[in-house]
Amino acid sequence: MPILLLIRGLPGSGKSTLAKEVYVPQGYVHFEADQFFYENGRYIYDPDRRQEAHKWCRDQAYEALSADRDMAVSNTFIRKWEVEPYRALAKALKADLQIITLTTQFESLHLKDKTRFEEIKSRWEEII
């Protein structure tokens, strides 16, 4: 049974680092919506394409789990509804869904605006 691991936390909490340094060496496939915005090694974020980026990330999870690969997805997953498509995916593909919530805080590589960070933080929901 493949594992679908969701790593969630506020921007700058270490989600990507945890995935790359701990889970990828264990053989997990790793994706996150931010990867969608890289072009030729440069991060070019377009807020109008956020939904497309998250769909792309779910599609990558589907492909990995369909191939019986363990999968780590590191996104903020601020709201409960953001996890639900992954719950459904895990159920449909008989994967073991695991969720890790990071509460650490480092400097975000992509989010420099403190006002935006506080807005995101204010929407945080606990997920079981």
Higher pLDDT, 14 or 119: 14
- The answer to whether residue 127 is domain-embedded is no
- The answer to whether residue 128 is domain-embedded is no
pLDDT in tens, 19-35: 999 999 999 999 999 99
Ranges assigned E (strand) in the chain = 3-9, 29-31, 38-39, 42-43, 71-74, 96-102
Distance between CA atoms of 90 and 69, rounded to whole angstroms? 12
* Of 83-87, 96-100, 117-121, minimum mean pLDDT range: 117-121
Q: What is the pLDDT of residue 65?
A: 96
DSSP symbol at 67:
T
- Helix or strand or coil: residue 94? coil
Residue pair 108/12 in contact by the 8 Å Cβ criterion = yes
Q: What is the pLDDT of residue 113?
A: 61
What one-letter code names the amino acid at 120? I
The pTM (predicted TM-score) of the whole model is 0.86
Q: What is the mean pLDDT of the chain?
A: 90
Q: How confident is the model at residue 111 (pLDDT cuts 50, 70, 90)?
A: low
**Mean pLDDT of all residues in 53-73:** 96
Among candidate residues 4, 8, 1, the one with its CA nearest the CA of residue 28: 4
Domain span at 83: 3-122
Is the predicted pLDDT of residue 128 greater than 90, yes or no?
no
**Mean pLDDT of all residues in 32-56:** 93
- The answer to whether residue 22 is domain-embedded is yes
CATH of the domain at 16: 3.40.50.300
- The answer to whether residue 100 is domain-embedded is yes
As for how many domains the chain has, the answer is 1
Q: How confident is the model at residue 117 (pLDDT cuts 50, 70, 90)?
A: low
